[in-house]
Amino acid sequence: MGVARPPHYAEPVALDIPGATHLHSGKVRDLYEYGDDLLMVASDRISAYDFSLAPGIPGKGEILTRMSLWWFDQLADLVPNHVVSADVPEQVRGRALVVQRLDMFPVECVARGYLTGSGLLDYQATGQVCGVALPAGLVESSRLGSPIFTPATKAEMGEHDENIDFDHVVRTIGADDAAALRDLTLRVYARAEQIARERGIILADTKLEFGRDRTGTIVLGDEVLTPDSSRFWPADSYEAGRVQPAFDKQFVRDWLTSPATGWDRHGERPPPDLPPEIVEKTRDRYLQAYELLTGETF
């Protein structure tokens, strides 16, 4: 069962964009039919624990879009991506992309180089993450001997993603495609982890989405390697055994579950609105991630 939407749920608002027909809204992105292609618009909405929170983070959509474009360029020789053009209608300029229509695989492709989040919880319960056995004695934020592929189901908005093992992926999409997605996910992670490390950032884990284009080629879609889909930690303060400071929305998760809010993520009460100082500090972290990684000023 999904979590009921709270009264303040940040409902997506479909925009009246010339030449575009609204198709779907997710936690952060809105998708429009746009001629033969799609228009993917990144909003300023932010989600945590399967809730879309209020208010949004100003400029977040543009930061995510710019960062994804930068990463797509860094990965172009590894895997094709779905971007057709950044030439979009004026009202969504800077936070939208024209992208190919893809037949998306129904799998969240996650690579982990460090043990944290739901992976840590799985390990503490079973000694494994998504069926991958790990050595005993690992702790919060331990670096793994080699990155692992830890897929998850794709959940609808308001539902929980569920970690699954590789055999589940094979049963869902077939052995050949499952192996191809695992290989691509780990190759993308290895490239991105190296690039981030050179810039003083640890890429702890990341989530990718793939689909097939009209020719049957596997293509990297959605967003890529942003603070919404990845954990970024400052390398100079890394220390296994504790939760790391982060350039991502973990800051919001930590605030939500802190004594300051009194909110129980497993209870019936919806999460509180984000106060102005949390909004500002979250935006600062997204900006830091963008500027440190790309070397560009937002």
Residue 9 has pLDDT above 80, yes or no: no
Whole-Å CA distances, 40 to 32, 36, 72, 113, 196:
6, 13, 15, 29, 26
Can you tell me the distance from the alpha carbon of 236 to that of 43, in angstroms, rounded to the nearest whole number?
Answer: 32
Which spans in 100-226 are helix H? 117-126, 166-173, 175-198
Residue 171 phi, psi (nearest 5): -65, -30
Range of 172's domain?
103-247+278-294
pLDDT digits (tens, 9 = 90+) for 34-63: 999 999 999 999 998 888 899 999 999 999
In whole numbers, what is the pLDDT of the chain averaged over residues? 93
Split at pLDDT 50, 70, 90, the class of 11 is low
Residue 255 lies in a domain: no
Residue 8 has pLDDT above 90, yes or no: no
Cβ atoms of 218 and 210 closer than 8 Å: yes
Residue 123 has pLDDT above 90, yes or no: yes
Q: Exposed (0-12), middle (13-18) or buried (19+): which is 87, by Cβ within 10 Å?
A: exposed
Q: Which pLDDT score is estimated for 159? A: 59
In the chain, % of residues over pLDDT 90: 86
Residue 185 lies in a domain: yes
Residue 6 has pLDDT above 60, yes or no: no
Residue 219 lies in a domain: yes
**Averaged pLDDT for residues 197-201:** 97
Strand order in the sheet with 37-42: 21-25, 29-34, 37-42, 96-99, 83-85
Q: How many domains does the chain have?
A: 1
Residue 27 has pLDDT above 90, yes or no: no
Cβ atoms of 89 and 18 closer than 8 Å: yes
Residue 1 has pLDDT above 80, yes or no: no
Residue 142 lies in a domain: yes
pLDDT digits (tens, 9 = 90+) for 135-161: 999 999 999 999 999 999 986 655 567
Residue 109 lies in a domain: yes
Which spans in the chain are helix H? 60-74, 117-126, 166-173, 175-198, 250-256, 276-294
Residue 256 phi, psi (nearest 5): -60, -35
Residue 54 lies in a domain: no
Token pair recorded at residue 130: 């998504």
Q: Which pLDDT score is estimated for 50? A: 80
Residue 240 lies in a domain: yes
Cα Dmax for the chain: 57
Cα pseudo-dihedral 81, 85, 90, 91, rounded to 10: -20
- Which of 41-55, 59-73, 214-228 has the weakest average pLDDT? 41-55
Residue 96 lies in a domain: no
Q: Which pLDDT score is estimated for 186? A: 98
CATH of the domain at 121: 3.30.470.20
93: Cβ contacts below 8 Å, ≥ 6 apart: none
